[in-house]
Structure 1
């Protein structure tokens, strides 16, 4: 029935159908069931709250059901009231619309005349009062016009929203009908059955009431829309009339105040002449009044012209707003067509620059501040003159002449005049501050609507074909475009414009002089760059300052040509003799200047003896390729880009679609060749970088990024050829800017690597000096003599190897470069990003969700899929880099151990991954209530099939939180002892003393037996057994062992070493040395040193270390048979 009403209802027959529809709907809803009223439900709820015999769970359930019923009844009343209002509005809308339309026609006819003339004889105060009333009425009308405009905009999307809501209501009603048809659960208390049915039935009735209200709203929407538009037009017309009256009153007030200021000025001059022979106090006061009169004239003069400026801003705002609204309507009706694209592009070119208005706003704010300070000073003086007699009495305390009968009356009259002048000045400053505030508000409105319109155009223009594809007509227009470019008249205009600037602009002469000086000093700059490389050969003289100075000199050496281009281009645009031709050429020179500067900088950077050669240590092949490619590309791209920009700046479709398009395509093809030569993995400038880093992602993905980079300008050239000129131009400009960002980051990265290399070399030098000093000290030399360093340390700098740098420092450098690159990527492509909002229009599927408390169908669009992909990419990068960056930046300064840092880093990566998945699911509309059944099913499957993996994962989390094992701990598990190097989701890695890595499932650490040598501390005991032969002096041996342990620097005094006589062995007397170390670092070396010391000391002290002995017994009861046998046998 809802769909039938939507499809056949119309405003004409809606009033007649309304009563019958409501009755039928009510009967269909309620049937034979009578809905409870509020009093009945409130009575039940009150009785429930006072009851003490019910179970608490039942009581809570009943309370919730009663409250839901009350809320549903309130919704029914609200929707029924709104339905009655809409029904009545539909009846009265035609008549009201007709009356308002007649009033609009009458006022439009009357409004063509000028505002009514002011009565003669009005004072400035009376005019000001009328002006204030008009301003109040205008402010109220402006608010009304804005609100009606918002209603008109909302009315364009309201029908679709209402229809979507009706679909949701239909689905909800089907569900409620099924719930009401279900039988009562067995064992349910009667009061629960009644409360549940009340809640369901009232919810059903509330939905029907809302549906009827929405149906009535849709039926009356055309009439209501017409009425709102007429109201808006009438209010806008009245606002324009009020603004006209406001400007007339402001002009009249300005004229009246100017007349008063002139009168006051004449009176002041006359008073000054008459006061020449009067008392000095009177002369001084009259002179001060004359100064104040001048201030009044200046204040009145400042007011002149502000009304006209305000009218211009309001007209500009109205123009842009009308164009904005018209563009939206044309886009909705006609779609993204080529004709519309050209119109929108022209309108975007005509949009004002928001920076100009923002600068004006800041300048007016400064003027408001100055006027406010003046006003404060005037008000303070006016307050002092509120009681003139008291003022004169106070003045008489210091000037007794004030009390003279000839002086006091004249002073009193002059003070009255001054007080009157102060009040006039204060009023004038009030009006000045008010009008400046109105101007700022109007300028902010212009900036707001212009920015919104620009964002709208940026969102749509990228997808619009702005020209026809290349055809014969394009080639036919080439001669005309070439003729324009080389026209004699045009270049004559260029000469005239530059001549005008040479005659009237000292800054132009200064710029030319600076450029000539740069050209003259360029060879010296090149020599200075090479000179900065000389100190790099020695560690003592090397410094990062030389590299930074060389880069700075390179930046200066690249200036001359680019600075000249920019200087001449600016003069051609700002000249008083400038024409459209000169401004186009000036824009071309100015915009090409920055690209020329970057190309020249990298060309000089790669010269022999330059920064890339001597400071960054780039390969000869890399330098030669950079010089060659940057050289030819500069000669090619500068003239082509200049012609392209000039033609598009001139904005003649005949020229831009022919020669301009061909030059743009030539720029893109040249860029493709440049990228292909520069970045070729086997022959380009990055060849040796890839060879030095064969395992890096940049090398592994070379077959992906190389064709992608080369193919981008080629694809843009194809777009330009088929007519997407604006799209290709914007994307190509962003691509070029991204190239400069990447090359700049390369220079920054190489500078940081060089600084780290210098630091490492100095550390190595210091260590070498300390070792040399130690050797000399042992040989009897003085440590101070080590300052003489042999030439062995004066070696050439080795090539910086980033892989050899400290791991954490490399992570920090990579993270910093990545962040800088991301910021640069965002900045260069920011103009393009709004265009992807158009993907919001393509819905893939819908899901139900709450929006402002109401359930609606929310679309999942192509843009949402892009957002999910972006979330995954960002989360992947963040999970890899942010935990390490957190460890470097935040945790290094704390007292946390390495294991604690690893725990925080690992858990933070888990947290980032979890949050990313939740955000992705929420973007796709996958709420917990929708997927909990899937999670439950997966949980059952996991419980049977993946229980070992899940057990290891949970054990890994327990290890990270409880930390029985930490990264860096020395553990023994089974027959393996080693260092924990990694704790992963499934297993933990242990590296034994043979550098073999053992993967142990995490479950083993929780359920099995584990020996952790360093769990609480790294204190460990060394036991060294020694066997001395029988007959040795054991007391002396024990004393020697105790002395040896006490002398070793790694053996702790607390706990003290223990020596003992442990027993009698077969071949020796067993002594044992037991001592402690504070860590396991160097344990084997300490044991070796102790054993060596024990052996040397025992041998020196005559204590003999036993060795196995065997007794041989000879039985002499019989003669011994002794024979001598020789190895030589006779012939």
Structure 2
């Protein structure tokens, strides 16, 4: 693999020529077959002359030494190249940095920076070379180990070479054996020297390869730093708009439509297609297949809609299939563009137009794929309408407008990319590329203005069906933002920051499409949850119908078309609070991760803005003055930490419920306490992280803590006491969610335990907010803390003269007859005392839930009244004696019939009392 820079001699470790490859393979074959061969058998030893065999090995070692010396020379040349390239790059950067000290820079500087940026070495340039070097490192290391073992083995054999050939030693005379031993020993000594030389060469090669690897890594680091520096310069060094832009427009247009350029690109394309024949043909076959089956795919897409009734019951797999078909329908054009771009990118570096066309086609392919997929998603047969149930008229209007607009927009972006990216001439970049980009931004702003104006169908439908939605309330704001973003990008380009404008627009566009993808994923998961709920309900209905013997009737009705098809309609409000919170949490993380992947490449160039200092603070640490500068980047990072913390705190409860707590089968009060403490912990971690980013440490908070201490001693002590009491309540759990408690004159069910107060819902369904301190310092009755069993105490009085044993028996039978009264503890009836007007009995019975008290007491009282009436037992009312000493003042007053009756009753009662006395 040779290096991609034509200006410098480019050495290669492993050449690509057939001769070098053949020699490399033959060397290993010979080495494995001769030097490292296993000991031959007895029959072979008798036919091979030992001295001739050693001589053959020595000849191979001589050839191997020559080959390794050639590889060593190439490795040294590669190392020298890396050093030279590194020095050239460092000198070029130093020169550009010196020129950058001048505040006003001209076109020549920008053009030089662009050229330097274009020719920066990239890791992809050395991928094959790096792989070949790694293989050479492994091979060289293994060979050194093998040669060292061979050398040790030769040392043993050199002491008595004849023993290595027992057949010859036994068949030769003593003089011949001596001659053979002497000659073989000399040959083996030569082999030992050759092996030592080969080990030395391989050791030098190994060292050179390691140093070359290290130098390449340093070169990549310098290249990365240079790329960051040059990108900053090109982003924030303005190229002022001038009349020369229109002067160069003619030459740029001629370069763009030049027949020579296009013929050269076509020639390069045909050459690369013939060289890479397999995958272009396969890709072309796939595109042709998609075009041929296009009508069939559209029919399948329409049939997959729930309203078509073709697939019953509806499953989420139908929506997934619809999404895949939508992608397949949008693929042919972008795939063709991408394939041509890939093939043209393989051309020689000198073919500038081919590489510029490749970059432009790649940009157009990505944009065309995104717009085509989105337009088909919101089409009348698309997933958004047919499966998610979104508004069809407004989406159809948007899809038609998007298709018309994408033709013009993709063409303008293609033209801007062809003349504005790295391989285009600088004059094209500042003329035709610049103007095409400005027109694209103006067209995008006009498209947003047309699509979302007040009289457009989407906004009119929003006014009719969702007049109180937040989208309508903030319509002016987001409408202004949508138009202002492309206009701001165009203004940035007109100000001379063309590179920054193009880069920011591409990031914004990728972010927008990523948000659309996140919304689609959200709708897909929410629809899956709804279909699963519907499936479970259908199974329950089938089980119920099966138990009632109605399955056959339902099947017949379904075959006759009498059963209505339930069309799923995406309604996020119906999927449950916990599921919705968990879905929000994961989609938010997915969205943040995607936006980070889109914008992380912009961090180096945005550091100019992020490093802008808002204010500077000085502190003393360890006796030294430390200066901290709060920058825009610090504020942005703190806001990001705060946003992530807010999302985590709001949704961690559902996450814990679904993922962990339900699997552990914990009680509700314990899970609630865990969730609340987890929220507090996440809040504390988020505040600490944001404070650290803003350099707010203990030294900065000492005055605040001192002020809070004074405030706690005066006005804030109640708030702090309630907060601490809330933590104690969560830890000790004297009250829990769902407990029935009595605090003072309030009795109700605990609904929420917050940091400062607890909400109790009384029996009038009113929420009473009670400070947490009351649950710690005041007297609290928890009716359901350890058990839900509670006792009823019912008092009954009967008239004097009744049979007390009969009354006790009747009352006990009434209590025991009630199904909600517990057998253990058993109910009891006691005759407790003699009252003024009655014999008093007391009923003690137990129920297993607090909410049964009133109902059971009502049932028992009703039953007691009935059974006492049935047996003629009187429940007396209080009796009093009334003595009238004088009635003179009442003589002249009229007496009503009621008064006469009451007076007569009083007199009768008095006479009875006197008679009894």
Normalising by structure 1, report the TM-score: 0.65
Could you tell me which residue of structure 2 aligns to residue 594 of structure 1?
Answer: 366
Could you tell me which residue of structure 1 aligns to residue 142 of structure 2?
Answer: 373
Could you tell me which residue of structure 2 aligns to residue 482 of structure 1?
Answer: 253
Alignment pair present for 1:523 and 2:292: no
Query: Where do residues 119-158 of structure 1 align in structure 2 (5 Å cutoff)?
Result: none
Could you tell me which residue of structure 1 aligns to residue 20 of structure 2?
Answer: none
Alignment pair present for 1:797 and 2:567: yes
Given that 2:158 and 2:188 are in contact with CA atoms closer than 8 Å, whether structure 1 keeps it comes out as no
Separation in structure 2 between the aligned mates of residue 414 and residue 737 of structure 1, nearest angstrom:
72
Could you tell me which residue of structure 1 aligns to residue 913 of structure 2?
Answer: none
Given that 2:868 and 2:874 are in contact with CA atoms closer than 8 Å, whether structure 1 keeps it comes out as no
Given that 2:812 and 2:827 are in contact with CA atoms closer than 8 Å, whether structure 1 keeps it comes out as no
Q: Which of residues 266, 282, 286 in structure 2 aligns to 1:495?
A: 266
Given that 2:306 and 2:567 are in contact with CA atoms closer than 8 Å, whether structure 1 keeps it comes out as no
Could you tell me which residue of structure 2 aligns to residue 127 of structure 1?
Answer: none
Q: Which of residues 573, 591, 607 in structure 1 aligns to 2:345?
A: 573
Shift of 1:385: 2.5
Could you tell me which residue of structure 1 aligns to residue 220 of structure 2?
Answer: 447
Shift of 1:750: 1.3
Given that 1:899 and 1:966 are in contact with CA atoms closer than 8 Å, whether structure 2 keeps it comes out as yes
1:514/1:415 Cα in 2 relative to 1: closer, same or farther (>3 Å)? farther
Query: Where do residues 953-1102 of structure 1 align in structure 2 (5 Å cutoff)?
Result: 953-1015=723-785, 1017-1021=786-790, 1023=792, 1035=809, 1038=812, 1041-1042=815-816, 1045=819, 1055-1060=824-829, 1072=843, 1074-1077=845-848, 1083-1084=851-852
Separation in structure 1 between the aligned mates of residue 646 and residue 654 of structure 2, nearest angstrom:
13
The one-character-per-residue Cα deviations of 1:107-129 (angstroms, maximum 9, x if unpaired) are xxxxxxxxxxxxxxxxxxxxxxx
Could you tell me which residue of structure 2 aligns to residue 280 of structure 1?
Answer: 48
Separation in structure 2 between the aligned mates of residue 937 and residue 1006 of structure 1, nearest angstrom:
27
Alignment pair present for 1:821 and 2:587: no
Separation in structure 2 between the aligned mates of residue 350 and residue 704 of structure 1, nearest angstrom:
44
Given that 2:163 and 2:169 are in contact with CA atoms closer than 8 Å, whether structure 1 keeps it comes out as no
Shift of 1:878: 4.0
Separation in structure 2 between the aligned mates of residue 702 and residue 1019 of structure 1, nearest angstrom:
54
Alignment pair present for 1:647 and 2:419: yes
Alignment pair present for 1:668 and 2:434: no
Alignment pair present for 1:318 and 2:91: no
Could you tell me which residue of structure 2 aligns to residue 331 of structure 1?
Answer: 100
Shift of 1:785: 8.1
SS of the counterpart of 2:748? Answer: strand
SS of the counterpart of 2:769? Answer: strand
Could you tell me which residue of structure 2 aligns to residue 763 of structure 1?
Answer: 536
Could you tell me which residue of structure 1 aligns to residue 319 of structure 2?
Answer: 547
Shift of 1:726: 0.7
Q: Which of residues 363, 380, 385 in structure 1 aligns to 2:154?
A: 385
In structure 1, list runs of 5 or more residues that go unmatched. 1-246, 248-257, 270-274, 1119-1131
The one-character-per-residue Cα deviations of 1:350-403 (angstroms, maximum 9, x if unpaired) are 22223334664344223322332333333333332221057868756xx65565
SS of the counterpart of 2:625? Answer: strand
Shift of 1:548: 2.0
Given that 1:952 and 1:1003 are in contact with CA atoms closer than 8 Å, whether structure 2 keeps it comes out as yes
Separation in structure 1 between the aligned mates of residue 809 and residue 66 of structure 2, nearest angstrom:
115
Could you tell me which residue of structure 1 aligns to residue 504 of structure 2?
Answer: 731
Separation in structure 1 between the aligned mates of residue 586 and residue 66 of structure 2, nearest angstrom:
60
1:581/1:429 Cα in 2 relative to 1: closer, same or farther (>3 Å)? same
Alignment pair present for 1:905 and 2:675: yes
Query: Where do residues 588-987 of structure 1 align in structure 2 (5 Å cutoff)?
Result: 588-649=360-421, 650-676=423-449, 683=456, 701-773=474-546, 776=548, 791=558, 795-839=565-609, 842-849=612-619, 854-882=624-652, 885-886=655-656, 888-921=658-691, 924=694, 926-929=696-699, 931-941=701-711, 943-987=713-757
User: Between Structure 1 and Structure 2, how many residues are aligned?
Assistant: 832
SS of the counterpart of 1:629? Answer: helix
Given that 1:991 and 1:998 are in contact with CA atoms closer than 8 Å, whether structure 2 keeps it comes out as yes
SS of the counterpart of 2:141? Answer: helix
Q: Which of residues 333, 351, 354 in structure 1 aligns to 2:123?
A: 354
Shift of 1:422: 3.7
Separation in structure 2 between the aligned mates of residue 900 and residue 536 of structure 1, nearest angstrom:
48
Separation in structure 2 between the aligned mates of residue 1033 and residue 393 of structure 1, nearest angstrom:
128
Given that 1:289 and 1:418 are in contact with CA atoms closer than 8 Å, whether structure 2 keeps it comes out as yes
SS of the counterpart of 1:799? Answer: coil
The one-character-per-residue Cα deviations of 1:580-628 (angstroms, maximum 9, x if unpaired) are 1222122211221122112222223333433333332222124313421
1:996/1:747 Cα in 2 relative to 1: closer, same or farther (>3 Å)? same
Given that 1:981 and 1:990 are in contact with CA atoms closer than 8 Å, whether structure 2 keeps it comes out as yes
1:375/1:459 Cα in 2 relative to 1: closer, same or farther (>3 Å)? same
1:686/1:350 Cα in 2 relative to 1: closer, same or farther (>3 Å)? farther
In structure 2, list runs of 5 or more residues that go unmatched. 1-12, 14-23, 36-42, 880-900, 909-917
Separation in structure 1 between the aligned mates of residue 863 and residue 408 of structure 2, nearest angstrom:
81
Shift of 1:1062: 5.7
Given that 2:54 and 2:187 are in contact with CA atoms closer than 8 Å, whether structure 1 keeps it comes out as yes
Shift of 1:313: 1.4
The one-character-per-residue Cα deviations of 1:545-589 (angstroms, maximum 9, x if unpaired) are 222222223222221111111112222332459721222122211
SS of the counterpart of 1:305? Answer: helix
Shift of 1:836: 3.5
SS of the counterpart of 1:751? Answer: helix
1:403/1:541 Cα in 2 relative to 1: closer, same or farther (>3 Å)? farther
Given that 1:875 and 1:913 are in contact with CA atoms closer than 8 Å, whether structure 2 keeps it comes out as yes
Could you tell me which residue of structure 2 aligns to residue 17 of structure 1?
Answer: none
Alignment pair present for 1:582 and 2:351: no
Separation in structure 2 between the aligned mates of residue 971 and residue 901 of structure 1, nearest angstrom:
20
The one-character-per-residue Cα deviations of 1:282-320 (angstroms, maximum 9, x if unpaired) are 477666666666655554443342222222211111122
1:979/1:669 Cα in 2 relative to 1: closer, same or farther (>3 Å)? farther
1:738/1:861 Cα in 2 relative to 1: closer, same or farther (>3 Å)? closer
Could you tell me which residue of structure 2 aligns to residue 512 of structure 1?
Answer: 284
More displaced stretch, 471-480 vs 407-416: 407-416
1:1067/1:802 Cα in 2 relative to 1: closer, same or farther (>3 Å)? farther
Separation in structure 2 between the aligned mates of residue 1105 and residue 436 of structure 1, nearest angstrom:
116
SS of the counterpart of 1:280? Answer: coil
1:1040/1:980 Cα in 2 relative to 1: closer, same or farther (>3 Å)? closer
Normalising by structure 2, report the TM-score: 0.79
Could you tell me which residue of structure 2 aligns to residue 95 of structure 1?
Answer: none
Query: Where do residues 159-170 of structure 1 align in structure 2 (5 Å cutoff)?
Result: none
1:914/1:541 Cα in 2 relative to 1: closer, same or farther (>3 Å)? closer
1:844/1:616 Cα in 2 relative to 1: closer, same or farther (>3 Å)? closer
1:817/1:402 Cα in 2 relative to 1: closer, same or farther (>3 Å)? farther
Shift of 1:895: 4.7
Shift of 1:981: 2.3
Could you tell me which residue of structure 2 aligns to residue 146 of structure 1?
Answer: none
